[in-house]
Amino acid sequence: MAVVALTVLTAGACGSDTSSDACFEKGKSFEGEARLYIEHNATDKDTGFHGMFDQEGLSEGCIVTPDGDEVMFVNPTGKLEGLGINQFFFESREPPNDEYSIADLKADFPEGDYRISGFDYQGEKRVGSAEFSHAIPAQPTIVAPKIVGEEEAESNTLRPTDVTVRWQPVTKTIDGEPVTISGYEVIVTQEEHDDPDGLSRPVYDVHVPPDMTELSVPDEFLRPDTLYELEVLALEESGNQTITVGFFTTTRP
């Protein structure tokens, strides 16, 4: 099996000689998108800093805060360095909010334009930016179906031919400020699945516009006597998102 290497250095490491060459201010524009956003799980009460950038054949990449602090350096090595990466996506660890609060995250990652820079596989300098916001949507309230915690899901049964997800519209941030919701995402995941490669788990994942607050789950997707996780995400225009999570079990035939 071929082995490739990818070095990711986080806060503090970008100032080293290893990464400083990639953290420049001028160059050709990134060809793809760059995004930084907050993901808040209102059910599990944890929050993380997530992001991605997209550029064909990137061989180095760096992210810098509006204050000039370098927070990440991505450095493919070995055969992957010459090939380059087209897209890099990351999720921070998501500690419980009583361990790492939302206020802590906001202090560590200020709002504003973050500079993203790096070299492509041809040695060209590439630069871009991603706007980062602290506007976190309030929790979407799921009206139907009834959802419970995973440990209670066996007693929370639904007919697999009659599942429609409904939720209340989100109109505020978690701080009570006005919010612009760009859409909602509904994810239904079959919890138990025999898949040695981990890539074929049945997942029904749909984005809907902001004026929609219900979505039917196709009968063809749901199997009888099966445990499912249901997630409804409120998506703010910056990309920030807040998740409500619950579980249900379909009835036996």
165 and 116 co-located in one domain? no
Task: Using the 3D structure, point to which of 99, 132, 165 is the last residue of a domain.
Answer: 132
Q: Which helix (H) or strand (E) holds 235?
A: strand 227-236
Q: pLDDT, tens digit, for every residue of 83-126?
A: 989 888 999 999 999 999 999 999 999 999 999 999 998 999 99
Contact at 8 Å (CB) between 155 and 143? no
56 and 123 co-located in one domain? yes
- Evaluate if residue 76 carries a pLDDT over 80: yes
59 and 117 co-located in one domain? yes
128 and 159 co-located in one domain? no
pLDDT band, very low/low/confident/very high, at 20 (cuts 50, 70, 90): low
Task: Using the 3D structure, point to which of 132, 150, 177 is the last residue of a domain.
Answer: 132
Task: Using the 3D structure, point to which of 101, 132, 163 is the last residue of a domain.
Answer: 132
Question: Is 137 part of a structural domain of the chain?
Answer: no
How many structural domains does the chain have? 2
Domain that holds residue 216: 142-250
pTM here? 0.88
Place of tokens 């997630």: 231
Nearest to 58 by CA among 73, 44, 69, 68: 73
Question: Is 229 part of a structural domain of the chain?
Answer: yes
- Minimum mean pLDDT range among 89-98, 123-132, 177-186, 196-205: 196-205
72 and 160 co-located in one domain? no
117 and 147 co-located in one domain? no
Kindly give, in sequence order, each residue whose CB lies less than 8 Å from that of residue 34, ignoring residues fewer than 6 positions away: 51, 52, 53, 54, 116, 128, 129, 130
The CATH number for 189's domain is 2.60.40.10
10 and 127 co-located in one domain? yes
- Evaluate if residue 6 carries a pLDDT over 60: no
Mean of pLDDT values over 163-187: 97
Hey, is 45 helix, strand or coil? coil
15 and 96 co-located in one domain? yes
